Every structure is written in C-alpha cells, then in structure tokens.
Structure 1
Amino acid sequence: MNTPSSTQPATMVKAIIPTLYDTDFNLWIEETVRQLKQGDLQSLDLDNLIEEIESMGRSDKREVKNRLIVLMIHLLEWRYQPEKRSNSWTATINEQRRQLGLITGDSPSLKPFLVDNFPGCYQIARRDAVRETFLSLSVFPLDCPFSLAEILNAEFFPD
C-alpha cells in the first residue's frame, strides 16, 4: 500500500490520498455547499470546485450544439422528404426548440454561442441528414436554407 512519507512532495501526497471528491461526489457537493453557505472559504476544495464549474459551462455548450444539430436534421428531413413527415418528427422539432429556449432562457449569454456555432452545426446536420435519409449530399444546400430565427421559431416548418 502506498502511503505518503515525509520525503514525498505535497503534490504526490495529494495524488495518493483520495479526497471526498474522489470517493463520494454527492457528499463532496453537499459539503461544498455547506462550506460556501457558512463562508468557510478556506476549507473549500478549490481545484475540484473550479473544474466542476468549468465542466458545467462546457456541458451547456455541448447541449446547445447537439440540440441545434438534431433540430436542423429534422428540419432538413421535413423539407427534403415531405412524404415521410410524421408526428414523431413534429414532436422532435418542438422538443429541441423548447429545450434550446429553456437553456438560452436560463443562460442568455449562450445566445451568441448559438449564433457563432450555427454554420458548423449546420455542416454536421447536413452530413447526418445524408446518413438518415439516404439522399445524396448534393440534395442539401452547402449553406443552411433556414435562418437561425426560423429554426428557433415554434411556428416555422419548411415547405
């Protein structure tokens, strides 16, 4: 069993001794919240707290991109395979719009992120639509045929 010795650097000791973060994540969260509420800032596990906060931001951004891609795929399918339109597609389109609205409502600062990532998300959606529809890539325009405002508009369904 590895145990820290007085000759090991402090960074090695931290790697050897598991922290509450490593052994019980939920309890670590509860303890961190308690410390914050009590103003016990010196006892905080700052390294892991910073990592978790950064991770939350990355997670929201990833969710925005994924939902936008799924929404675009279904709108492309709606436009280019009208004979296959279904209630399932309508439900998926509505749900992606609803979730994007909730996310950007909670975090309005993600709206510029949505705008900035719109072209790249469309390119992914275009390729994925080819795989889902078995249509040729050339069927789908190189640039998105819908504006971001249309895509997010609950009333918009392309003809």
Structure 2
Amino acid sequence: MVQARVSGQRSLYDQDYHLWLEEMARFLEAGQLEQLDRENLLEEILDLGRRDQRKLESLLTRLWEHLLKLGYWRSELGRNQAHWRGEVTNFRVQIQRELKVSPSLRRYCEGVLEECYQDAKRIVAERAGLPVDLLPEEPIADLDQVLSLDWFPNPGHG
C-alpha cells in the first residue's frame, strides 16, 4: 500500500481516519483495487449497516416512548400532548426517510419492534413514576400503525 503504514506499525487507518478514507476513495476511483486496505474497508462497510440498524432501533424506541406517553401518562397529557405528538411525527418522518433509502431495513424494524417497545415501556414507566405493569405487555400497534402519520393512541386511554 502506498501510505498504508506510517509512524512505525500504525496504519494510516489508525493514524488519520479521514485521510485513509480519502485515499481509499482515490484508489477506487482510479481502479487501483490492489492498493485498497481491504480488511479495514470491509469492516467499515459492514459497520455502516450496523450503524443504520442501531439508528433505526433508537428512533423506534423514541417513537414508542412518545406513543406510550400519549396513551398512558395521564397526569402530564394536558401539558405535553402537543409536544409528544410533534415528537411522534418527527421520529416517524426520520424512520420513513431511512426506510426509503434502504427498504430492506423494514424487515429489521419488524424484527426489533417488540424489543424497542419493551425498552420504551421501561423508560416511560421510570420517567412517569408508573409501575411498568400499568403499560400493556404487548406492543399497542404493529409497524404499519406505528409508522402511519395518521395513527395515534387515544390520549389517556392507550
């Protein structure tokens, strides 16, 4: 590799990540595939997919949190309903944008939907000072409803 190793045994990848990216892009553009740092490049490509999955998990969990607040946190509903509905819409839009770019991640969302719901349920119970068993054990909606811009739980009724 042209500049793969700098400062003794440290690779350019370890020394200057941004410069490494630029170099890998130049090699790809020039068709110099033999110059690629294949091991680190493969790891970076795989990590991109994992980052997308983690981002969707985070967005789904936050979406569930606000849906549960709307449905079950009665004492704060009057003061926070508009904010929570706005957050629900915000998270839905972000998730839909991610799925538009990578439609295959919808299956991933379906697979983690309940796990994200359970996480959100614990978070909401803690924040609201509610016993976790006051919130439904199973998700209150399927993925289509959760992502629908028109669906909201009935305020104060779940």
TM over 0.5: yes
Higher relative contact order (CA 8 A, sep 6+): 2
The percent of aligned pairs where both chains have the same amino acid is 32
Letter of the 2:32 partner, please give it: D
CA distance in 1 between counterparts of 2:44 and 2:142 reads 34
Secondary structure of 1:86's counterpart equals helix
Pairing 1:122-141 to 2, within 5 Å after superposition: 122-141=117-136
Q: Are 1:119 and 2:111 matched, yes or no?
A: no
CA distance in 2 between counterparts of 1:66 and 1:104 reads 14
Unaligned runs of 5+ in 2: none
TM-score (norm 1): 0.86
Aligned residue pairs total: 147
Q: Which residue of 1 aligns with 2:104?
A: 109
CA distance in 1 between counterparts of 2:22 and 2:83 reads 40
Q: Which residue of 2 aligns with 1:47?
A: 39
TM-score (norm 2): 0.87
Q: Are 1:142 and 2:134 matched, yes or no?
A: no
Note the C-alpha offset of 1:52. Answer: 0.6
Letter of the 1:87 partner, please give it: A
Unaligned runs of 5+ in 1: 1-12
Letter of the 1:104 partner, please give it: L
Provide Cα deviations, 1:106-132, integer angstroms capped at 9, x if missing partner: 111100000011111111111111012
- Match 1:86 to one of 56, 70, 81: 81
Letter of the 1:30 partner, please give it: E
Secondary structure of 1:85's counterpart equals helix
CA distance in 1 between counterparts of 2:79 and 2:64 reads 16
Q: Which has the larger radius of gyration?
A: 1
Q: Report the aligned-residue RMSD.
A: 1.8
CA distance in 1 between counterparts of 2:41 and 2:125 reads 42
